[in-house]
Amino acid sequence: MPTPSRILIVEDDAKIAAVLLDYFKAGGFQADHLGDGKSAVEHIRGQPVDLVILDLMLPQLDGLEVCKAVRGFSDVPIIMLTARVDEIDRLLGLELGADDYVCKPFSPREVVARAKAQLRRNGSLRVQGSGPRFTVERDQLRILIDGAALPLTPVEFRLLAELIEHPARVYSRQQLLDLAHEDQRDINDRTIDSHIKNIRRKIDARAPQLDCVQSVYGVGYRFELPL
């Protein structure tokens, strides 16, 4: 079995760090924690990791300085955590080389889902005890579960591909309807419920009891694999 992806959590709030460590370890990852920016740069330089969860406000070196320093020698995916919500800080973090950011307060499950999405993009997602692996092949209009293609219609493919590629994001029925029917035919948004029902049935045939296309009451749907 391959070694699980290595996650480094750089966070000076011990309670937040402990929660994230628990969630990543429960998700089948190797996870370590450091509480200051200087130690983080030294660690990443000496012991390469697969992904960094990086708080913006840190002692010694703040998150932006850490990100800039790391980008001088590594392209490891970096997800920044911040309680500062103004757009300048967000954009500056991304311009310095961060791959994504999450605003505090946040759901630990969302952080894990975003980390998985980043690792999946660069081919370094490895977890112990994980569930089925979904692969989207847009050129072939196929979605595979552990290498086996799902028998999807074109509309079902568009819906499921969008959900998989944006894990934990909640889509309204109208948003999914716009994705499903590009010709804007006169159909109502409850048509999406029928499509989702068919997608769930086809997933269940390959991976029974896998509740990954989840209903969000009064809103719509999201894709989320169990930890």
Provide the pairing of β-strand 148-149 with 142-145.
Answer: antiparallel
Sign of CA dihedral 112, 132, 75, 92: negative
Cβ contacts of 91 within 8 Å, gap of 6 or more: none
The C-alpha angle with vertex 75 and arms to 67 and 136, in degrees rounded to 5, equals: 120
Residue 10: strand pairing partners: 34, 54
Q: d(Cα 94, Cα 102) in Å, to the nearest integer?
A: 12
User: Which pLDDT score, from 0 to 100, does residue 189 have?
Assistant: 62
CATH topology of domain 6-121: Rossmann fold (3.40.50)
User: Which pLDDT score, from 0 to 100, does residue 191 have?
Assistant: 85
Run of H or E residues at 220 = strand 220-223
Residue range(s) in the chain whose domain bears CATH number 3.40.50.2300: 6-121
Residue range(s) in the chain whose domain bears CATH number 1.10.10.10: 134-223
Q: d(Cα 150, Cα 202) in Å, to the nearest integer?
A: 7
Nearest CA-CA partner of 5 in 124, 160, 144, 176: 124
Residue 5: C-alpha distances to residues 36, 37, 50, 66, 98 (Å): 22, 21, 6, 21, 19
0.85 cut: is pTM over it? no
Helices assigned H by DSSP within the chain: 14-26, 37-46, 63-70, 87-95, 108-121, 154-165, 173-180, 191-206
- Give percent helix, percent strand, percent coil of the chain, each to the nearest 5: 40, 20, 40
Cβ contacts of 219 within 8 Å, gap of 6 or more: 170, 172
Q: Tens-of-pLDDT digits for all 227 residues of the chain?
A: 457 889 999 999 999 999 999 989 888 899 999 999 999 999 999 988 999 999 988 998 999 899 999 999 999 999 999 887 665 566 566 777 888 888 888 889 889 989 988 888 877 776 665 567 788 888 889 998 888 899 999 999 999 999 988 877 889 998 998 887 765 554 666 788 999 999 999 999 988 878 889 999 888 999 987 65
User: Which pLDDT score, from 0 to 100, does residue 1 have?
Assistant: 46
User: Which pLDDT score, from 0 to 100, does residue 172 have?
Assistant: 92
For 79, phi and psi rounded to 5 degrees?
A: -110, 120
User: Which pLDDT score, from 0 to 100, does residue 138 have?
Assistant: 85
Q: d(Cα 202, Cα 185) in Å, to the nearest integer?
A: 25
Q: d(Cα 15, Cα 19) in Å, to the nearest integer?
A: 6
The C-alpha angle with vertex 33 and arms to 22 and 3, in degrees rounded to 5, equals: 70
What is the CATH number that goes with domain 134-223?
Answer: 1.10.10.10
Cβ contacts of 179 within 8 Å, gap of 6 or more: 158, 159, 162
